[in-house]
Structure 1
């Protein structure tokens, strides 16, 4: 996952925050200016559209400055952003509506092939954004501003520590960080007000997720000044800083960090004493007022397809059955005599499948990365320019993190992409899953998809830096399959690890829909995952609590991967000996993260030209 920030983030989603979700908006005044320019008769339709895209992107960065920093753009680095007030959401909605109106004045039939793809993506993005900002949906979302998996309090400490996307090379960088802190405190304080709105309307988070947030806040406060990530930049000043600047900045960072702790304490006490008693017991959206409406919206938003929960649930059940059959074959191959369930237990508990130490796990990933690098040219004609680093999560946040995640670098490569792996509770970490995890989060998964898109300057910025979960995570899951042609699964246990990871994504279809449309409990969901995979209880628990916190996001992996696999099979069958995986992968990746419907049309058109 992109941590998921965005990411996707991608961030996110993967990085999964409001700032990234609305990163392609256009303000009213700027749209009017773009339309005035578009009226000039000398401009082609393609030029008008590119002008619209460029102005949209620029205005969006001004409203969402954190997104700019992730690109390496420091023009608005002294701002954190709003992301939570009524005024912010009103401006975002107005911008989306005016952007859509501006796009409708452009004749799609007069555009080139790539421009038509850009038009279709932009059109879908605007419609989805407007739907997501309707009163019906907003009333169900903005009153739940954070939980243990999705919230600025989980992302910002690393971002501001000197180990994230924010730069710490100059005195101004350090001073900009202090200014961002002030706006971050404002956001945390305003979040309490949003929670109170939800208490009044009856739309509340779960006791489980809020209990986890309370623990997260207590943990961060408990670190104290010396160990706080917010103070980390003062422990790594650049050598050219004067003693006077070091002394001044250290004092200012101490003062501001204490203010952050105070806002955390206020949030902690409010959640513990007032909100937690009002939070709901049922963990799924089916137990929340308006939850069925929200879940339907979220499924289409994350999968980019109009799917029903029952269809997704049944698809998951069929995939679980298929993967189990393949697992049985590997169990026989290695000569294990017991049942599949006993084989799961063997993989879970035998010491030879667990890392000896954090250092050994780190070394293992370094060696794997070098091995993969030597094989990538067999599957790809274009490789990212951005380097990829491998790091464990910081110990202060690792308990609540997934098994691994990816943080994107900058387009110019000045900040590398980072594959993070989890070294918390080593007895629960299974070395048989290392290859598949690296292929997914690192290369050729998230690192290739995100880097190749943002390095392609021929694309409009919303396609270089935007995306959707179905493509981003679907590609990463598909990338795991490339371990077969690259001969990385010759070891049956690594192959089983891949199937186990694929099983995880299939189980997500079952469990996510079970939780949010069929009334499944947390315990029921954890047990289902333990019964159908070799996951340890720690991982299974973290996974289920993630689905509870961010409904539907986990569906996108398997839906997206199955779509790409189906398109590849179609190309192979149609083109026969003419099929080249390097060309196919280039077609999939060279226009950024497309909605599944747009991707399918693109690949169909490409197949037609090849055959």
Structure 2
């Protein structure tokens, strides 16, 4: 699973000069000498957020803020990165003018999170890290070439309610085309400096672009909006927009995809890295350590994470052995894995049946969720499969957040590609992780809380976000959802996946594991099918360290829960514990622990 990139990673071209951005924030803070420290802090947050939205218009659009909806942005230019770096430096300087000791408890948390976020962001703008990242602008798992077709299809986050919405989409297309051409320039820069993506990831990108280019214009996601005009559009507007959409697809979007495909296939791919791990890339060891600390929010080392993963794999295996015995299977655990992969009774019969299965799970969760939570999201949750044009390279499931006002629901996507390779025991766990109470609760509750500053409502870190989602899977026990031993085995399988990630991600990027070695390890220690195991491994290759966050974050939350139970005894209320974890947004794990410790002390 992953959250779609727009949640945490979207960025776009700067629309203000860096000096205007810095000056605007500094002036806002300095202009409040008579204000309280909390008011000055809120002013800093608000000014920074407003300036950031102008630099990053897609982030505004995902919130339902349409002021900059005619821009896509260009988030890979030197000018953009200079603007972001200078704004970050200004934020840290302005923060020094605010007396933390005079803030209330919640504002102290906000102060600490903001300071940590800005400090860590600044590390990412260092020349050492930038030189390794900007020259690899996309791969098969993270790239605007796969994000944008859905976004602009009429089925994604971009609205298509008015003629202006349709025209804004055309304007965004032009900036997207520019971004793709500039991506080619960044790849060329990497070729010159000796920093390359892998042959595997680039070959997959070429395949993705071939798939898109093979679609006729009328079949393209980009053509979707003009096939479903809202009521009230005039015939003249429909005719104009249809002609303009066809023109930009055939003479803009498809040609730039072809230029990118041809460059990657003919010029870049022959020189790309054979080895898949960062340890084989120039500067890769430094980059991987940086990514580990960014992803986990903790100063962990690859070897320690690898060993933790090995111990977790051994622990979970013992639980699997117990369920194998419970269901009366007489063979070995690997033979039981093969039974789970191949038994027709444990496979979805059709896309429709798989979809209905998730609908049914959602109803069961809705019936019991209030036993665990005091506050439920206002935003509804939609359940649907990935679109067929992108499903092959997607994970088993993912979540796309809705708008803060609930006008666009959150969406749980599941993967129906290659149905014979998919099994049903993990369905409940996947829904708990991606939907309720996982990503949907965590993201929606945060962004619906207007008392939080925007960076806490809409930002986050992977360890908290994915740690919460993995922790949410364990709540299936308390909600009575794992009475069936196969569904219980399914949740152990998903927990095993997250444990194996600690082993495999570090194995690939710090111990020279091959792609095949990593796939074999996952097949030997789980009931995953080869299609899923392959997609998982190729994901770890594409986005190093991201997969470490799940287990590290979940173990932290579970440890804090056990600590609260032990110290509070009968006073412990799981609904209030969950409220404390969720009500201030996605906190770095060190700050989350400080908050829970303070809550425990206040509750005694």
Structure-1-length-normalised TM-score: 0.97
Query: Of residues 157, 179, 188 in structure 2, which corresponds to 1:196?
Result: 188
Residues 28, 47 of structure 2: 8 Å contact kept: no
Residues 17, 152 of structure 1: 8 Å contact kept: no
The equivalent of 1:208 in structure 2 is 200
Query: Of residues 555, 579, 594 in structure 2, which corresponds to 1:586?
Result: 579
| 4+ runs deviating over 4 angstroms | 16-20
The equivalent of 1:596 in structure 2 is 589
The equivalent of 2:601 in structure 1 is 608
Residues 5, 142 of structure 2: 8 Å contact kept: no
- Name the SS for the 2:449 alignment partner: coil
Query: Of residues 218, 227, 246 in structure 2, which corresponds to 1:226?
Result: 218
1:141 aligned to 2:133?
yes
Q: For 1:42-441, list aligned pairs within 5 A.
A: 42-258=34-250, 259-441=252-434
Evaluate the alpha carbon distance shift between residue 206 and residue 520 of structure 1 in structure 2; reply closer, same or farther with a 3 A threshold. Answer: same
* C-alpha distance in structure 2 between counterparts of 1:329 and 1:26, whole Å: 62
* C-alpha distance in structure 2 between counterparts of 1:38 and 1:191, whole Å: 37
Q: For 1:489-500, list aligned pairs within 5 A.
A: 489-500=482-493
Shift of the alpha carbon at 1:478?
A: 0.2
Residues 10, 56 of structure 2: 8 Å contact kept: no
The equivalent of 1:13 in structure 2 is none
- Name the SS for the 2:584 alignment partner: coil
CA displacement, residues 527-558 of structure 1 (integer Å, 9 cap, x when unaligned): 00000000000000000000000000000000
* C-alpha distance in structure 1 between counterparts of 2:527 and 2:415, whole Å: 17
Shift of the alpha carbon at 1:33?
A: 3.7
The equivalent of 1:570 in structure 2 is 563
* C-alpha distance in structure 2 between counterparts of 1:333 and 1:578, whole Å: 36
Residues 17, 150 of structure 1: 8 Å contact kept: no
Shift of the alpha carbon at 1:210?
A: 0.2
Q: Which runs of 5+ in 1 are unaligned?
A: 10-15
Q: Which runs of 5+ in 2 are unaligned?
A: none
1:474 aligned to 2:467?
yes
Residues 453, 463 of structure 1: 8 Å contact kept: yes
CA displacement, residues 256-310 of structure 1 (integer Å, 9 cap, x when unaligned): 1111100010111110110001101000000000000000000000000010000
* C-alpha distance in structure 1 between counterparts of 2:282 and 2:97, whole Å: 39
Residues 206, 265 of structure 2: 8 Å contact kept: yes
Evaluate the alpha carbon distance shift between residue 384 and residue 163 of structure 1 in structure 2; reply closer, same or farther with a 3 A threshold. Answer: same
CA displacement, residues 121-170 of structure 1 (integer Å, 9 cap, x when unaligned): 00011011100010000000000000000110010000000111100000
Residues 152, 221 of structure 2: 8 Å contact kept: yes
Residues 11, 59 of structure 2: 8 Å contact kept: no
The equivalent of 2:29 in structure 1 is 38
Residues 389, 417 of structure 1: 8 Å contact kept: yes
Structure-2-length-normalised TM-score: 0.98
Residues 31, 52 of structure 1: 8 Å contact kept: no
Aligned residue-pair number: 602
Shift of the alpha carbon at 1:590?
A: 0.0
- Name the SS for the 2:425 alignment partner: helix
Evaluate the alpha carbon distance shift between residue 138 and residue 377 of structure 1 in structure 2; reply closer, same or farther with a 3 A threshold. Answer: same
* C-alpha distance in structure 2 between counterparts of 1:53 and 1:26, whole Å: 19
1:4 aligned to 2:4?
yes
CA displacement, residues 223-247 of structure 1 (integer Å, 9 cap, x when unaligned): 1201100000011100211111111
Shift of the alpha carbon at 1:41?
A: 2.8
1:540 aligned to 2:533?
yes
Residues 144, 194 of structure 1: 8 Å contact kept: yes
* C-alpha distance in structure 2 between counterparts of 1:108 and 1:564, whole Å: 27
Residues 113, 587 of structure 2: 8 Å contact kept: yes
Shift of the alpha carbon at 1:486?
A: 0.2
- Name the SS for the 1:203 alignment partner: coil
Evaluate the alpha carbon distance shift between residue 517 and residue 18 of structure 1 in structure 2; reply closer, same or farther with a 3 A threshold. Answer: farther
- Name the SS for the 1:419 alignment partner: strand
* C-alpha distance in structure 2 between counterparts of 1:17 and 1:528, whole Å: 33
Moved more, 360-369 or 35-44: 35-44
The equivalent of 1:12 in structure 2 is none
- Name the SS for the 1:411 alignment partner: coil
* C-alpha distance in structure 1 between counterparts of 2:413 and 2:24, whole Å: 43
1:554 aligned to 2:547?
yes
Shift of the alpha carbon at 1:408?
A: 0.3
* C-alpha distance in structure 2 between counterparts of 1:103 and 1:113, whole Å: 17
